[in-house]
Amino acid sequence: MSEAVPEAVSQAVTHAPGTFCYWELGTTDRTAAKAFYTALFGWTIEEDVMPEGGVYGMISLDGKHLGGLYEITEEMQAQGVPPNWLPYVAVENADEAVAEAKRLGGAVVMEPMDVMEHGRMAYLRDPRGAHFAVWQAKSYPGTGTRGEPGSPCWNELATDDREAAEAFYTNLLPWSTQVQTVTDYGPYVMFMIGEEAKGGLMEMTEEWAGIPPHWMTYFTVENCDASAAKAEELGATLKVPPSDIPNVGRFALIQDPQGSHFSILQPSEDM
């Protein structure tokens, strides 16, 4: 998250520890990505120059902040950082979360840092290689929209070691786990806080060969087929065409023109 968060960030939201609270797109072409996502989701992206250089875009939907967008530097690309959507999880104390992540076998990609008066963040990698960030809110709590068309609605971890992932995240965050259903890929696990699901977990099988563990962000759409077709028209690639998920809805997996992956979900009417 950039220090370029606008001053007018007060939103009537709070995010309890363990809740996904912000999403950030790292891309190789900021201008092209901005054109793609504003056309697909109807976002507004306000850009500002960061104190350390570069430009950061604050993503809003109907006047409510959703996340951010920045251009991956050549140095980051040389280090193997691909275009990606990075989810942030709210924590009470970023430094303590980092220390615990290290103790549990995770790695620190970016050490805790203050984002002016807005909050404190750190960029982590779990023991199997999936990336995520933690956010200790101060004046800026995070996203002010969730679930509306064009906004994030779900986060899903694909990992090559279910038991290791469950142990890491349930010790790091106030999550428990619950097997929701058994799919063709095996059990689908929910990360829970009390009775509320905060994210999902799937164990990758041989069909996923070559794909590293990762967190996937889902965005709500009103019509999955229409949004998938529009994404293709805008230059994206459908990695999984519109498909039904029983009792959940209809989804598609998309790679944007710069290479970042995300999913869209049209929730079923009974959700």
DSSP per-residue letters across 90-144 = E-S-HHHHHHHHHHTT-EEEEEEEEETTTEEEEEEE-TTS-EEEEEEESS----S
Residue range of the domain that includes 30: 20-137
How many domains does the chain fold into?
1
Q: Dig out the tokens for 216 from the structure.
A: 């996937």
Amino acid 206: pLDDT = 83
Q: What are the C-alpha distances in Å from 103 to residues 89, 99, 172, 200?
A: 18, 6, 10, 23
Residue type at 206?
E
What ranges in the chain are assigned the alpha helix state H?
Answer: 30-41, 74-78, 94-103, 162-172, 224-233
* Structural domain includes residue 100: yes
Predicted confidence (pLDDT) per residue in 203-220, tens digit: 998 888 888 999 999 999
* Structural domain includes residue 45: yes
* Structural domain includes residue 117: yes
Please tell me the pTM assigned to this model.
Answer: 0.92
Low-confidence ranges of the chain (pLDDT < 50): 2-12
Residues paired with 131 in a beta bridge: 125
Furthest CA-CA distance within the chain:
48
Q: What is the CATH number of the domain that holds 95?
A: 3.10.180.10
Amino acid 271: pLDDT = 56
Using an 8 Å Cβ cutoff, are 263 and 216 in contact? yes
* Structural domain includes residue 218: no
* Structural domain includes residue 30: yes
* Structural domain includes residue 78: yes
* Structural domain includes residue 155: no
DSSP-derived secondary structure letter, 178:
E
* Structural domain includes residue 71: yes
